Structure 1
């Protein structure tokens, strides 16, 4: 890996203009494909595995009937997006197109758990031990198997009474219908920090955020 291997947010955005199937998610890029049959989805899964082995760069792949969800990041670069991820994404898209798979970026989601705390260091080790998570350089916690939601601590002198909230990451290009659906449910939406994130409060005062890659 070279020093130029890690991509800036702007570089990621520029590369993704030529990769219409892919969207940026926290620490990676992701795509969702749908095939006509489950057998075709398995074939796409196999093709992805072959491309990954050839590049020695392995994405996270989730097969659900006739849908395949793929996320790629560079773990040896601290969970950042690199040129290797872009190259692999391009090959995966080629395999998907060859099988006649359709792209569904509206299905791309990533969920993190946020915890309000005036002293994150006091509680981080307990959460890591309980979940079997690993601590990251920025203080967040991740599942070493990349299956469960990450946890991050929102340090604040005035923690909210409801200390836990979900950050639901959606691609900015797909966020409008999500926010419109929430509005139709009479959810209280605070768009002060949009499009970076919009705070949603349900009818019982529980909060979650709709987050995008914009202005992060």
Structure 2
């Protein structure tokens, strides 16, 4: 049994773990997706995951769709990934194998919206009210807001030294699996995009479309 003082697993350790080949680390969470042949098969898988979660006393988020099921886990009580998440992920992957499901981790991603601001405290209450969002951390500052139901993209505020008038103040942050980002980057450039900067790679690359609207392609790598 893992002791209470055991160090938490790192993103690098989890990404290299052979028992987690069907999972990817996205924004501090473990995420996995499996294709299903029918809604009924997906529901069967979800029921099995629910039973595993109750047995292990560690409960993930599950998204059941017609042709796939997505499972995401993090230890909410400590706000990070722990050995409990690894144990659950290994069990879920084994169940998927038993049911003959095919993992499609390359389809996974997590979307956030960034807004350039001068004073986050001045604008955050408005966005919190209009979106019905809450701070990412309980009792935390409004520098990052999330949908409490976990359905919509998070909104975070990027501190600016001076107002920006020459470009949009909103941009998208798309976190993708570390082994997908180069393919996604190449596809975006081939589709008419341009590389704004790779200064922060492999943590993120900044891209822009033909009119200068920006998106950051992000991974867990290069974040210490």
TM norm structure 1: 0.92
Check the 8 A contact 2:117/2:159 in 1, yes or no: yes
Partner of 1:144: 148
Deviates more, 1:96-105 or 1:50-59: 50-59
Matches within 5 A, 1:5-154: 6-14=8-16, 16-78=17-79, 80-135=80-135, 136=137, 137=140, 139-154=143-158
Deviates more, 1:180-189 or 1:130-139: 130-139
Which residue, out of 174, 178, 203, partners 2:210? 203
Distance in 1 separating the partners of 2:146 and 2:88 = 23
In the TM superposition, what is the alpha-carbon distance from 1:59 to its structure 2 partner? 1.0
- Contiguous gaps of at least 5 residues in structure 2: none
TM norm structure 2: 0.89
Check the 8 A contact 1:12/1:81 in 2, yes or no: no
Task: Say what the alpha-carbon RMSD is for the aligned residues.
Answer: 1.8
Check the 8 A contact 2:14/2:20 in 1, yes or no: no
**1:170 equivalenced with 2:176 (yes/no):** yes
Check the 8 A contact 2:11/2:25 in 1, yes or no: no
Distance in 1 separating the partners of 2:38 and 2:107 = 18
Distance in 2 separating the partners of 1:67 and 1:8 = 27
Check the 8 A contact 1:113/1:165 in 2, yes or no: yes
- Contiguous gaps of at least 5 residues in structure 1: none
Partner of 1:2: 4
